[in-house]
Structure 1
Amino acid sequence: MAESVPRILWHLALLLIWMASQVQADCLVNIDQGAARGSTMTSFHGREFCSYRGIPFAEPPVGELRFRAPVPAGPWAGELNATKDGNQCPQGFAPVYFGDEDCLYLNVYSSQSTAELRPVMVFIYGGGNTIGNNKADNYGPHYLLDKDVVLVTINYRLSVLGFLSTGDDAAPGNFALKDQVEALRWVQKNIAAFGGDPNRVTIFGESAGGMSVHFHILSPLSKGLFHRAISESGSALMPLFFRTDSILSQAQRLAQAVGCPTENSEELVSCLRTVDVDTIMKNQPSDCSWPQGILSFFFCMYDIFWRPVPEVKTAANPEPFLTAHPQEIIRSGDFNRVPFVLGTNSDEGSFFLLPLVCTQAALDYLNDHLDDVARVVFFLNESVPENRISDTFQRVIDFYLGSNRVITTATVHSIIDAATDRFMQHNIHKSVELHLKSGHETIYLYNLGYRGKHSVITKARYGDTRYDLGVLHADELEFIMTTAYKADRWEPGHPDLEMVEAVVTLWTNFATHGNPTPEADAAPQGVAWPTAGAIRNNVTYYVFDHATPPAEPVYNVRPLRIRVVPDKFKNRMDFWDSLPLNENQEQ
């Protein structure tokens, strides 16, 4: 009789394992909205997991719900087919627009392999608040699901539909950011059913998605919905992505273009809700004044017309997303003090200057039109008083190019560095300094200078250009999220495989522990990641780059090197701090 008890327990254990495997195979989950059936996928290293795609987290923002805060999605009838991505939101550039207003869907990827709840990582895509989606082919889970995490990728409204504002209660604005908040509320309510821990939610995003992450740190509306944050190449201090003036006039320009009244904001917005979405998208106003031609599309991308705005808390708008400028909020110290990773890639500017630096003909054009081009691509008008733009521009050119203003393939990285610093490095650095001054100590800063086999831009790949364009904006995603996933995209023993393992380990460690290297001896290459303020009077970087000779390249790529570098960009950051930029002024 004594031997029968262990035998019964053994059979019970086998039954539980079989039941768990059946749940895994079925990929069926039940939440308050109803039952959802997903499909199975396989991770990079062969782990099977469940994919639930196209789950609605908010009601379609159409008709009377257009230009309003999102409404939580209701239940569905029957069993939801969660095997396909949801619609992408309306987006594009004139004259080509596509997408569907019924677009507030999210995807969940979970191994469901253990009874213990796992950390949750919620990804917010980039695209200048103008384009993007959460489709699995663009932001796949195959690397991250090699680790014990649950991944959620979300959609949000874009462009005019996500950011139109009248500056009052008629349309307070920030609808895209409020969509993200609603997705995070959905995660809090439902993620445990997918094996996720609602008390360990990390939000992470790239570019505009990274900016969104920083905005959530600053927003009272997001408080308690996440517990850690990662901003990849994006911050709330990016001058092109916040607007404090001309808010109503923008909405009025759109209204006038589509035949709606402009005097009364309530009537303006009410009318816009009745206009066909294609008409709205195709009639968006623009401040781009670059002459028509082959580069006009490129330069007009710098015209981020619809942006986050400050709101006023009123009875009709009781939950504003932001009520002040981001710098003011950071300086006040009144924000969500969660562990925060920020960082940049070494050659972000290559992405933003690509049409001007990728061929000799492009360099010739850049040299012939340097003054005009630089004034646009450095967007000094966003940060510098009109009467000081010329002087400031000259100082930038002198600092980066010196007396030799002719840009060649040998010196092109000087202008790329200038664009890198203006677009990303300085506002990320400024963000870190302000957070540290406010007493926000759990800040981790990185710089990624490891140039692998693949790049976000085809022309930046090895062999496709006359020279190396470096590590572009968004290139870090090559090691975190999968695009058009192929299991054999690297040869066996390729150095990039170590990079994937290092970054995925650091990101998932952070999601799990709030520290990317909780055990120093287990850190990638044995290099622990200190906080940005660990060394007094320095800003400390965790740097990914390449081993130097005598290390030999493998498949034309030198092996990964990880190191800690204090004040990596001190001279360049001191220069930008010396300029009369609005972001350098005490508020």
Structure 2
Amino acid sequence: MAFYGVHCRVAVCLAVLCLVFADDPMVEITLGKLVGKSEISWHPDVNINRTIHIYEGIPYAEPPVGDLRFRPPQTKEGWGGVYRATSIGSACIQALDSFDDITETQSEDCLFLNVYVPVTHSTDRLPVMVWIHGGAFILGSGSCYYNGTPLAAIGDVIVVTFNYRLGPLGFLSTGDEHAPGNYGLLDQMAAIQWVHDNIEAFGGDKDMVTLFGNSAGSLSCEYMLLSPLMQGLFHRVIMQSANVFINGYFSTDSRMQRKTAHGLGKLVRCERETTEELIKCLRALPAQDFKDLSGIETKETLEGIIGQALPYIPFPPVADGYFLTENPSRVVEKMTFINSGLDLMLGNLADEGMYFIAFATPDMWNEPKLTINKTVYETLMKILLGDARMQTNQAVKDAIKLMYINWDDANLEDLDYVDALSQQVGDDYFICPADASARAYAKAGFNVYKYHITHVPSKTLRPIKWMKATHEEDLPFVFGWHFVDGMNWTLPKEEVDMTLKVMKYWTNFAKTGDPNLPRDDATFSEEEAQHDWPLFKVPGLEYKEIALTMSNKRALKAKECAFWNNFIPNLMKNTDPGTKCFADEDEAGKYTKDSNIKQLP
């Protein structure tokens, strides 16, 4: 199971409604001159008519090919003339997925970024929002489906999106100097460094940079926040649906990394004695040989080869001693923040768990309604537990049932367990990790704003009708898909209004660190304007409910999060004496996932 980003199913990116080409814009950056294109952003539902300069397919590092495979990105050499940045670059090598497939052109030469600049007559520099796409570190791109034009036009910000290496090409590690891992995260750092070095040429403010991302992109944002190498390169962070307390997406076990790398070598006829010889052989393979090894299915194949269970993704980010020196969840627990005092916004959707139930029930994708009986629930609730150690701990499983089953009707033969399972999975994976993070960051002095999206959209990302407000359904609102021609994303007026509010919240936060400001238009009702989104603090625990009517609430799932963040870790410790609940994988390589206790401050 994995959490994925939304990906493009067409090779050509989508244009903004009423596209009009003007004179080609040009900027000069440190590497040379760039020529882009102009579009007029206009829509009858928005009182705006804005020219946007778009620069697509800008190379921000040298192609990571040949001897540069499994190495940090190298500084791009200048092109000595004019570079036409008018079409998107290739996506990074990745496998097709039955749930979120893409058909973009793929290449190992994929380190490209896109810049969306609203034309302004003001001399003030514009805030910058840098998007990190999701995809479980195995899928996705920064181009299609992440068209930054509506956000730039409506929010008056510069939007930057980019690709980074994925799967084994982005994250394979031998646990030593020959392939330390994290190349995809270092690509992200290089893209953010590029923004810092060049964004002023586009009219942007390098001292007002906001990182935002969803799912694995949200995790990446937090890795950037916790890395000692990122000081001064950004100033605000928006984390949408995922943070470092989720299990199975980080490794500190160098022995497991080495075994997995050698397992991959055996799979592609590169079986070698040493890691140095292994990496030399892997560098010589055609890039396309890695395409089918980047999917989630590779996990089971590698487990068969090495005879050991692996995390959800076999090539996760690692503690490489350089970009990340220890498990990021430990840093948050200890509150030893290097990049402290920043503005932070984070949140989730109300039915995140439905997304993962869909992976477990593919036979039901075309059904108008999903129902789960007691027998199926008993099976799925174990499979979908975030920490594999819980699957064999009967006390833990009994406690989870006690918390989530509707006991008033538990004796009914036709009792439907869908919502119970969805809330269990969503709380385990997302809601309660976010609660632990919000508490820690607020206690450490960050300005924290928390949200919870409860609105069930009328139009959904996938043709599965029963998924509700699930994982990734925030993307159409954040990026304003209603305002993009070609996406066929027409919404009713009340959801258009909600889209505008979400876009204003996100861009207001990027401008000021406060999602409420400025309020110089009629986007928000008089009542909403009187109920500003409050800071998240302990003990107040206030947050914004994002729905058709924006409301302030408090103590989101406080009981459930005390259960997951305090009670369950203590129960596991007391019912499994051989388990160190705070053990790193280096100390307990037999565990299949990082075991993170998320203590409430």
Q: TM-score range by the shorter chain?
A: 0.7 to 0.9
Indicate yes or no: 2:432 matched with 1:426: yes
- Whole-angstrom distance in 2 between the partners of 1:169 and 1:145: 45
The 3-state SS of whatever aligns with 2:114 is strand
Aligned length: 524
Indicate yes or no: 2:155 matched with 1:150: no
Q: After the TM superposition, which of the residue ranges 449-458 and 29-38 deviates more from structure 2?
A: 449-458
Per-residue deviation, 1:236 = 1.6
Counterpart residue number, 1:440: 445
Q: Which amino acid aligns with 2:327?
A: H
Q: Contact conserved, 1:42 with 1:142, CA < 8 A, in 2?
A: no
Structure showing greater Rg: 1
Per-residue deviation, 1:541 = 1.3
2:468 pairs, out of 467, 470, 475, with 470
Task: State the TM-score, normalizing by the size of structure 2.
Answer: 0.80
Indicate yes or no: 2:263 matched with 1:274: no
Alignment of 1:51-450 (within 5 A): 51-93=54-96, 99-114=106-121, 115-245=123-253, 246-283=256-293, 286-288=298-300, 303-312=312-321, 320-330=322-332, 331-337=334-340, 338-354=342-358, 356=361, 358=365, 363=370, 367-381=374-388, 384=389, 389-403=393-407, 404=410, 412-437=418-443, 439-450=444-455
Q: Contact conserved, 2:171 with 2:317, CA < 8 A, in 1?
A: yes
Q: After the TM superposition, which of the residue ranges 140-149 and 126-135 deviates more from structure 2?
A: 140-149
Q: Contact conserved, 1:121 with 1:201, CA < 8 A, in 2?
A: yes
Per-residue deviation, 1:385 = 6.3
Q: Contact conserved, 1:288 with 1:303, CA < 8 A, in 2?
A: no
Q: Which amino acid aligns with 2:453?
A: L
Per-residue deviation, 1:271 = 1.7
Q: In structure 2, do the counterparts of structure 1 residues 385 and 504 end up closer, same or farther at CA, with 3 Å as the change threshold?
A: closer
- Whole-angstrom distance in 1 between the partners of 2:266 and 2:562: 45
Q: Contact conserved, 1:137 with 1:482, CA < 8 A, in 2?
A: no
Q: Which amino acid aligns with 1:458?
A: P
Q: Contact conserved, 1:258 with 1:283, CA < 8 A, in 2?
A: no
Q: In structure 2, do the counterparts of structure 1 residues 454 and 586 end up closer, same or farther at CA, with 3 Å as the change threshold?
A: closer
Q: Contact conserved, 1:144 with 1:481, CA < 8 A, in 2?
A: no
Residue by residue over 1:299-345, the C-alpha shift from the partner in whole angstroms, topping out at 9 and shown as x without a partner, is: x9983111111112xxxxxxx11011112212142331211100001
Per-residue deviation, 1:423 = 2.0
- Whole-angstrom distance in 2 between the partners of 1:82 and 1:221: 29
Per-residue deviation, 1:135 = 1.5
Q: Contact conserved, 2:127 with 2:209, CA < 8 A, in 1?
A: yes
Q: In structure 2, do the counterparts of structure 1 residues 392 and 288 end up closer, same or farther at CA, with 3 Å as the change threshold?
A: farther
Q: Which amino acid aligns with 1:276?
A: P
Per-residue deviation, 1:488 = 9.6
Per-residue deviation, 1:248 = 1.1
CA RMSD for the aligned pairs? 3.2
Indicate yes or no: 2:568 matched with 1:579: yes
Q: After the TM superposition, which of the residue ranges 413-422 and 365-374 deviates more from structure 2?
A: 365-374
The 3-state SS of whatever aligns with 1:26 is coil
Counterpart residue number, 1:42: 40
Q: In structure 2, do the counterparts of structure 1 residues 172 and 405 end up closer, same or farther at CA, with 3 Å as the change threshold?
A: farther
- Whole-angstrom distance in 1 between the partners of 2:213 and 2:149: 14
The 3-state SS of whatever aligns with 1:475 is coil
- Whole-angstrom distance in 2 between the partners of 1:374 and 1:133: 32
- Unaligned 5+ segments in structure 2 are 1-20, 304-308, 573-594
Per-residue deviation, 1:445 = 0.7
Q: In structure 2, do the counterparts of structure 1 residues 133 and 406 end up closer, same or farther at CA, with 3 Å as the change threshold?
A: farther
Per-residue deviation, 1:126 = 0.6
Q: Contact conserved, 1:216 with 1:222, CA < 8 A, in 2?
A: yes
Counterpart residue number, 1:16: none
Q: Which amino acid aligns with 1:38?
A: G
Per-residue deviation, 1:290 = 13
Per-residue deviation, 1:178 = 0.6
Residue by residue over 1:399-443, the C-alpha shift from the partner in whole angstroms, topping out at 9 and shown as x without a partner, is: 212442879796522221112112211111111122233x13311
Q: In structure 2, do the counterparts of structure 1 residues 362 and 162 end up closer, same or farther at CA, with 3 Å as the change threshold?
A: farther
Q: In structure 2, do the counterparts of structure 1 residues 493 and 92 end up closer, same or farther at CA, with 3 Å as the change threshold?
A: closer
- Whole-angstrom distance in 2 between the partners of 1:71 and 1:307: 22
- Whole-angstrom distance in 2 between the partners of 1:100 and 1:301: 27
Q: In structure 2, do the counterparts of structure 1 residues 29 and 91 end up closer, same or farther at CA, with 3 Å as the change threshold?
A: same
- Whole-angstrom distance in 1 between the partners of 2:311 and 2:500: 35
Q: Which amino acid aligns with 1:105?
A: F
Q: In structure 2, do the counterparts of structure 1 residues 397 and 511 end up closer, same or farther at CA, with 3 Å as the change threshold?
A: same
- Whole-angstrom distance in 1 between the partners of 2:355 and 2:411: 21
The sequence identity of aligned pairs, in percent, is 30
Q: In structure 2, do the counterparts of structure 1 residues 49 and 360 end up closer, same or farther at CA, with 3 Å as the change threshold?
A: closer
Q: Contact conserved, 2:459 with 2:489, CA < 8 A, in 1?
A: no
- Whole-angstrom distance in 1 between the partners of 2:235 and 2:490: 37
- Whole-angstrom distance in 2 between the partners of 1:71 and 1:267: 23
Q: Select the structure with the greater relative contact order (CA < 8 A; seq sep ≥ 6).
A: 2
Counterpart residue number, 2:591: none
Q: Contact conserved, 1:53 with 1:106, CA < 8 A, in 2?
A: yes
- Whole-angstrom distance in 2 between the partners of 1:233 and 1:492: 23
Indicate yes or no: 2:508 matched with 1:509: yes
The 3-state SS of whatever aligns with 1:457 is coil
Counterpart residue number, 1:552: none
Q: In structure 2, do the counterparts of structure 1 residues 139 and 375 end up closer, same or farther at CA, with 3 Å as the change threshold?
A: farther
- Whole-angstrom distance in 2 between the partners of 1:508 and 1:305: 36
Per-residue deviation, 1:152 = 0.3
Residue by residue over 1:510-541, the C-alpha shift from the partner in whole angstroms, topping out at 9 and shown as x without a partner, is: 111111124589794212122111xx424221
1:564 pairs, out of 539, 552, 555, with 552
Q: In structure 2, do the counterparts of structure 1 residues 539 and 336 end up closer, same or farther at CA, with 3 Å as the change threshold?
A: same
Q: Which amino acid aligns with 1:561?
A: T
Q: Contact conserved, 1:229 with 1:339, CA < 8 A, in 2?
A: yes
Task: State the TM-score, normalizing by the size of structure 1.
Answer: 0.82
- Whole-angstrom distance in 2 between the partners of 1:459 and 1:290: 31
Q: Which amino acid aligns with 2:445?
A: H
Counterpart residue number, 2:8: none
Q: In structure 2, do the counterparts of structure 1 residues 490 and 256 end up closer, same or farther at CA, with 3 Å as the change threshold?
A: closer
The 3-state SS of whatever aligns with 1:153 is strand
